[in-house]
């Protein structure tokens, strides 16, 4: 009996870590500018999800500022797998954002493989995987992004349940030329061409159309859904990260993709309106702290 009592205590200790929904988010952290992890942590928290951040790099300011510097964290990344496995953590979801090198992508793959194995799931279903393949916008790759990295991201798509590229990123992943005037039918075909047997849903985000931003939601064997919102003011840093974080939180909380996208559209449009009213500089990210209660 002593043995089973001990075993019982052991199980209880392990289960303790996993009583609340947890998401591992692998992305960079900008201490000023409210992008990437600086958006995901508070937004997921407001959605009652514990965000376990794996920083790929830590920036003073994001790269949209004249002055910024960063510490690369790639050498630290395997320690997260080792320590978190030893701690007995399991995750409801694993998400990735900006990845700067093939090494970081390889690490994300190992992270997903390790925490999806039966041994490290503690009888929970496998984590859902969400990839925001951050590469560029308006037909151009970000200056810091190298084309070779896109190849690695294509491999990551194969193990993603959900994918949230913008039109530029979707075109790079599909290896086709960017055309900002693509018709809805062509965008639907583009989305379908990115789907793999694993895909549960895919959203092509923020396509500008006559004063609106349109999100195209592709779900296998269902008609393409379009979710549009009026574009307010200039582009603002970090908007995509806030958007992706609300979608991720919605999925983890059991919403279908289209519903999660609608919630993200509403939240981002309120945050942008607040930024305009408060005259926040476009570099500084969205003042989402003002309205986090909307996510509760």
Among 23, 24, 44, 59, contact with ligand PXL (rule: CB under 6 A): 59
Q: Is 261 helix (H, G, I), strand (E, B) or coil?
A: helix
Write the DSSP assignment of 146-162 as a string of letters.
-HHHHHHHHHHHTT-SE
Q: Whole-angstrom distance between the N-terminal and C-terminal Cα of the chain?
A: 45
Among 18, 50, 60, 63, contact with ligand PXL (rule: CB under 6 A): 63
In whole angstroms, how close is the CB of 256 to ligand PXL at the nearest point? 26
Query: Measured from the CB atom, is 146 or 255 closer to ligand PXL?
Result: 146
- Interface residues for ligand PXL in 84-113 (CB under 6 A)? 98
Provide the token pair at 109: 């793959």
Query: Measured from the CB atom, is 36 or 219 closer to ligand PXL?
Result: 36
Residue 241 as a binder of ligand PXL (CB under 6 A): the answer is yes
Q: Which stretch binds ligand PXL (CB under 6 A): 29-37, 145-153, 172-180, 272-280?
A: 29-37
How far is Cα 29 from Cα 109, in angstroms, rounded to an integer? 20
In whole angstroms, how close is the CB of 132 to ligand PXL at the nearest point? 9
In whole angstroms, how close is the CB of 62 to ligand PXL at the nearest point? 3
Among 21, 30, 136, 149, contact with ligand PXL (rule: CB under 6 A): 30
How far is Cα 47 from Cα 233, in angstroms, rounded to an integer? 27
Letters for 183-222 (x = contact with ligand PXL by CB under 6 A, - = none) are ----------------------------------------
How far is Cα 188 from Cα 265, in angstroms, rounded to an integer? 20
Strand ranges (E), the chain = 22-32, 50-61, 70-72, 93-96, 128-131, 136-137, 140-141, 162-163, 201-209, 212-218, 225-230
Residue 28 as a binder of ligand PXL (CB under 6 A): the answer is yes
Residue 62 as a binder of ligand PXL (CB under 6 A): the answer is yes
Contact 135, 153 (CB under 8 A): yes
Please name the residues in contact with 3: beta carbons below 8 A apart, sequence gap of 6 or more. none
DSSP bridge partners of 290: none
Binding residues vs ligand PXL (CB under 6 A): 28, 30, 35-36, 59, 62-64, 98, 237-238, 240-241
């Amino acid at each position: 009996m002593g043995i089973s009592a001990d075993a019982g205590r052991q199980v209880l200790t392990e289960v303790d870590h996993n009583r609340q929904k947890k998401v591992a988010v692998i992305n960079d952290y900008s201490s000023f500018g409210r992008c990437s992890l600086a958006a995901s942590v508070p937004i997921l928290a407001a959605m009652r999800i514990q965000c376990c951040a794996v920083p790929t790099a830590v920036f003073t300011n994001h790269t949209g500022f004249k002055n910024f510097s960063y510490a690369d964290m790639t050498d630290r990344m395997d320690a997260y797998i080792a320590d978190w496995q030893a701690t007995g953590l399991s995750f409801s979801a694993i998400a990735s954002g900006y990845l700067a090198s093939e090494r970081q992508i390889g690490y994300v793959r190992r992270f997903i493989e390790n925490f999806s194995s039966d041994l490290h799931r503690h009888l929970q279903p496998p984590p859902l995987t969400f990839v925001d393949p951050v590469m560029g916008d308006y037909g151009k790759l970000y200056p810091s992004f190298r084309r070779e990295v896109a190849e690695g991201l294509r491999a990551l798509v194969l193990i993603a349940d959900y994918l949230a590229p913008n039109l530029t990123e979707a075109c790079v992943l599909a290896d086709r030329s960017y055309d900002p005037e693509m018709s809805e039918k062509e965008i639907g075909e583009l989305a379908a061409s990115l789907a793999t047997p694993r895909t549960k849903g895919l959203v092509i985000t923020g396509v500008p159309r006559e004063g609106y931003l349109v999100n195209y939601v592709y779900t296998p064997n269902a008609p393409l859904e379009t979710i549009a919102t009026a574009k307010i003011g200039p582009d603002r840093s970090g908007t995509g990260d806030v958007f992706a974080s609300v979608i991720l939180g919605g999925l983890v909380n059991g919403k279908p993709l289209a519903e999660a996208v609608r919630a993200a559209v509403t939240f981002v449009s309120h945050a942008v309106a607040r930024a305009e009213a408060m005259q926040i500089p476009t570099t500084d990210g969205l003042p989402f702290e003002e309205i986090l209660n909307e996510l509760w």
